[in-house]
Amino acid sequence: MDYQNKLVLAPMVRVGTLSFRMLAAEYGADITYGEEIIDHKLVKCERRSNVAAGTTEFVEKGTDNVVFSTCDEERNRVVFQMGTSNAVRALKAAEIVCNDVAAVDINMGCPKAFSIQGGMGAALLSKPELIHDVWLCGFSCILYMPCFHNTVELARRIEKLGVPALAVHGRKIADRPRDPAKWDEIADVVAALSIPVIANGDVLEYDDFSRIKTATGAASVMVARGAMWNASIFSPKGKSHWEDVKKAYLRKSILWNNDVKSTKYTIKEMIAHHSCLELPEGKSINKADTLEDLAQLYQLEDYYWTVKNNRPLAHDLHCIL
């Protein structure tokens, strides 16, 4: 994968599903990361082709639980992000999915308790020997800045292992979204490395892509919250109204048969940023049990039944995207 001069959708749990990735790409995202999948879960999966939906699915054996879904249209830009604390298991998991994605990335930044307690995410920052073993497999990674002052040194060590790119989130592990991202410290990492660095943090408008790139010297820019609130942030034409983006996302969710819980979560995140979940709309979303319920809420019943009754083959999908 080419990591130069790219606009990148960051990995976001429950948000970064096929539907949202395709939406972001439609607005202009060059690279789209999937939500983090734990290696334990992926090694229990088998690959299936869903001809009716035009997707490739990785399904937990013995169940209908789809752990990860992708399609040919995004093969050259989608990055599978993995949570791991074991190099052997990470490689085994990567081998299952690698032929259907453009790249595999290791989460070395998640500060959430469930990741750290499992030895994953930001917990890897304090385990240089494990970092060495994992990245000898040739993955890229996303790095949160360690609490101590060795971010540059750690980045240099990672580069020496042959990592093709490094995304740097400009916050310490203990920082929260309200804390300003440290673009100057990302610049220090960029200056120390020869591999592409993807800058991440406080990108909320399209103009911020150029601002952070200029400030840090990074090869590319990654955005999370700004895209979750309005995926049209990737459009050089300017943002579409979030209400229109919300409906576009729901249409993608119907088309790709997205999990209703993930769909509701993402829509509620959009609403919470722009409006209020306590309004009737938010309460109606909470009551929705199916995609059909959501389609009715947003007057998309005709679209829902068109897709439901005339599920296209893969080569026909572009006709109704």
The pLDDT of 261-277, averaged and rounded, is: 93
* pTM beyond 0.75: yes
Q: Which of 105-109, 141-145, 258-262 has the lowest mean pLDDT?
A: 141-145
pLDDT band at 146 (very low <50, low <70, confident <90, very high): low
pLDDT at 246: 97
Q: Has residue 199 got a pLDDT over 70?
A: yes
Of 29-43, 95-109, 129-143, 271-285, the least confident: 129-143
**What percent of the chain is predicted at pLDDT more than 70?**
84
Distance CA 170, CA 189 (A): 10
Q: Enumerate domains of the chain plus CATH numbers.
A: 7-234 (3.20.20.70), 242-319 (no CATH)
For residues 217-236, give the mean pLDDT: 97
DSSP 160: H
Per-chain mean pLDDT for the chain? 87
Query: Smallest Cα–Cα separation from 223: which of 207, 240, 237, 238?
Result: 207
Helical pair 260-274 and 242-255, crossing angle rounded to 10 deg: 180
Higher-confidence position of 141 and 254 = 254
Catalytic site residues? 110
Q: In degrees rounded to 5, what are phi and psi of residue 245?
A: -65, -40
The values of phi and psi at residue 35, to 5°, are -65, 155
**Which region among 107-116, 191-200, 295-304 has the lowest average model confidence (pLDDT)?**
107-116
pLDDT at res. 25: 98
The Cα 128–Cα 238 span in angstroms is: 42
The DSSP code sequence of 115-135 is HHHTT-GGGGGG-HHHHHHHH
CA neighbor of 3 nearest in space, from 263, 188, 157, 222: 222
Q: Over the stretch 151-161, which tens digit does the pLDDT of each residue have?
A: 888 888 888 88
Contact 165, 140 (CB under 8 A): yes
At 159-181, the pLDDT tens digits run 888 888 899 988 887 788 888 99
Q: What percent of the chain has pLDDT over 90?
A: 65
